[in-house]
A and B are shown apart, each in its own frame.
Chain A
């Protein structure tokens, strides 16, 4: 069974600092990879996705992620965070041919002024 590990449950940073949220998954077969963001009292919305092609994926709000097949990782990065980026971030993995994602437990990004 697929598993997804988000290595940090909470990441505090100061505004305008860079941030990396880490995600590792277990499957060695082809996968589709996603990052979602959840603002307080809202549902999840897609930040970015990797289906195939370039391993560096750019998403909304200045976020990007890099797919590393050998390390089975899909870390999310932003060079300069804003207060408004404070939210919960979820990594999700779908094995090729399936439509059922496995979600990580989430990382709470807290941006301090």
Chain B
């Protein structure tokens, strides 16, 4: 069964901290994605990656960066966390263009 895992389900951080969110997929997928989900706004794409060491900005990349050193792992980095980054963060992967995405369980991040 396909699987996308995220390092934490819940995370509480302080303003100004550097935060790492990790995502691992075991499906050998080329494409990986980071979204944030906020009530009433749906899913908004932060960054995506279509290959190792490749990354592209999504719709809301400000305040975030990503790293993909290995095919199965895609990390989201909040360089200096702020309270407006309190949100649910979802990682996803997909195999080919036009195919469905497989999602992790999400990390609910609270920045105090």
Report the stretch among B13-21, B68-76, B103-111 that lies at the interface.
B103-111
Interface with B: A11-19, A41-49, A60-68, which one?
A41-49
Say yes or no: B41 contacts A105, CB within 8 Å: yes
Give per-residue flags for B26-55: 1 if the beta carbon is below 8 A from chain A beta carbons, else 0.
000001000000001111010010100000
Nearest B residue to A34 via CB reads B100
Is B42 within 8 A of A97, CB to CB? Answer: no
A interface: dominant SS: loop
Q: Which residues of B contact A94 (CB under 8 A)?
A: 97-98
CB neighbours of A71 from chain B (8 A): none
Q: Report the interface size for chain B: residues with CB under 8 A from the other chain.
A: 26
Task: Name A46-90 residues within 8 Å CB distance of B.
Answer: 46, 49, 51, 90
Q: How many residues of A contact B (CB 8 A)?
A: 24
- Give the most central of B41, B50, B99: most A CB within 10 Å: B99
Asked if B94 CB lies within 8 Å of chain A CBs, one says yes
Measured between alpha carbons, how far is A74 from B9 in the docked complex, in Å?
32
* Bound-state Cα–Cα, A94 to B98, Å: 6
Interface residues of A (CB under 8 A from B): 9, 32, 34, 36, 41-46, 49, 51, 90, 94, 96-101, 103-106
On B, residues with C-beta under 8 Å from A are 4, 9, 31, 40-43, 45, 48, 50, 58, 90, 92, 94, 96-106, 108
